[in-house]
Amino acid sequence: MMLSYILLSGVTTGALYALVALGIVIVNKATGVINFAQGELFMFSGFLAWALHVQFGIGYPLTLVLAIAGGFLLGVMTDRIAFQPLKNVDVVSLVLATVGIAFILRGVARVIWGGKGDYLTFPPITSPEPIMIGEIMIIPQQLAVLAGAVLIMALFWLFFRYTRAGKMMQATADNAKAATLVGIRTDRIYALAFGTGTAVAAAAAVLAAPLTLLYPDMGFSFFIKGFAAAVLGGLTSLPGAILGGLLVGIAEALAGGYIASSLMEVSGFVVIMLVLVIMPSGLLGARRLRRV
For 52-85, what is each residue's pLDDT tens digit?
A: 999 899 998 899 999 999 999 999 999 998 888 8
Alpha helices (runs of H) in 114-237, residue ranges in sequence order: 140-162, 164-174, 176-181, 186-208, 218-233
Instruction: Quickly list DSSP for 191-221.
Output: HHHHHHHHHHHHHHHHHHGGGS-B-TTHHHH
196 is a domain residue: yes
276 is a domain residue: no
pLDDT value, residue 116: 58
Percent of the chain with pLDDT over 70: 93
Q: Report the pLDDT averaged over residues 219-241.
A: 88
Percent of the chain with pLDDT over 90: 22
192 is a domain residue: yes
Domains identified in the chain, total number: 1
Instruction: Indicate if the pLDDT at residue 287 is higher than 60.
Output: no
Give the span between the Cα atoms of 158 and 145, in whole angstroms: 20
Q: Which residues pair with 131 in a beta bridge?
A: 138
pTM to 2 decimal places: 0.87
pLDDT value, residue 195: 93
Full domain range(s) for residue 188: 2-222
Least confident segment among 88-97, 123-132, 186-195? 123-132
Contacts of 69 (CB under 8 A, 6+ apart): 199
Q: Which amino acid is at 209?
A: A
Strand pairing report for 136-138 and 131-133: antiparallel
68 is a domain residue: yes
Q: CA separation (Å) from 215 to 43, 120, 221, 238?
A: 8, 7, 11, 29
200 is a domain residue: yes
63 is a domain residue: yes
Least confident segment among 50-59, 88-97, 172-181? 172-181
149 is a domain residue: yes
pLDDT value, residue 290: 44
> pLDDT, tens digit, for every residue of 2-48?
777 788 888 888 889 999 999 998 888 888 888 999 999 999 999 99
Contacts of 114 (CB under 8 A, 6+ apart): 216
Contact 168/189 with Cβ under 8 angstroms?
yes
Residue 170: other Cβ atoms inside 10 A: 16
Q: CA separation (Å) from 27 to 16, 33, 90, 93, 148?
A: 17, 7, 17, 16, 22
pLDDT value, residue 70: 94
Give the span between the Cα atoms of 154 and 144, in whole angstroms: 15
264 is a domain residue: no
